[in-house]
Amino acid sequence: MQSYIENAIKRFDFGEQSGVVLFWKYTALGHGWWTLTVKDQPFWSSKKGSTKDHKALERYRKRNLRYDYPIRPGNKVDQEWLAGLAARIGVSDQRTFQAKNQFLGQLVVPVSLNEGAHQILLGVIQLVTAEPKENYVEEFIQIRNLLNEKNLATGPLAKMIKASYLGETVKFQLPISSGIPYLRERVTERFKILRQKAFRIIYNDGKSSFLVISNEGDLHRCIASSGSPTIGMLIE
């Protein structure tokens, strides 16, 4: 399988971007323990960009060689380690120019082998660009298509929504390309009492910031600025 993944990585088209594609190999250690590492794994760099860009991307790749330690069951994964978060929840994610303190752009894509009705996690493909983009939907589609040729599956490009209403909390996936109608449909699907009521959805960043999501722009800003795979929302 590694040769298939390496082939897909080295066929990735960066276009005019300066970037690097890494593969984080997943290893199950037993009893719920696991690890991810880029050590001795394939990577592919863009020929575009300045010497400064290439040096920054190479420093990033070498810095990530230190991530090679076991993760205990139930342990929280470092929120800055996007590849680890993607492996933990099985969802692709991105860090765009709207994310706080984000100097490099990122896309992470969990890669699994289809085994009948089951999927076996092989690892995570990570694209890092010298300049963060508005979104990485096109890059996600390109990686997904390259992997699908080899019967390899990808986690959806989505955020996990954690919505709370009257003390009850539910979770569901929200594709990054979704709009307000889809979000409201998912909310009323979980909280059926809201089908006959007017309600509003409020973004909660987990600290002190709140934003009423009243239009598509609000939703996209919420998704783009979130540095976590999980977004908290309050329903009122």
- Entry pTM: 0.80
Ordered by where they begin, the domains of the chain are: 2-154 (3.30.450), 158-235 (3.10.20.90)
Residue 109: predicted pLDDT = 95
Provide the strand spans (E) within the chain. Answer: 19-30, 33-37, 43-45, 93-95, 105-115, 118-129, 152-154, 158-165, 168-175, 201-204, 210-212, 230-235
Residue 230: predicted pLDDT = 84
Residue 236: predicted pLDDT = 92
Q: Which residues pair with 93 in a beta bridge?
A: 108
Residue with tokens 């307000």: 180
Query: What averages of pLDDT result for each successive group of 10 residues across the chain (236 residues)?
Result: 89 94 94 92 92 93 86 78 88 82 87 84 96 91 92 87 94 86 93 93 76 87 76 92
For 90: left if phi > 0, alpha if psi spans -120 to 50, otherwise beta; the answer is left
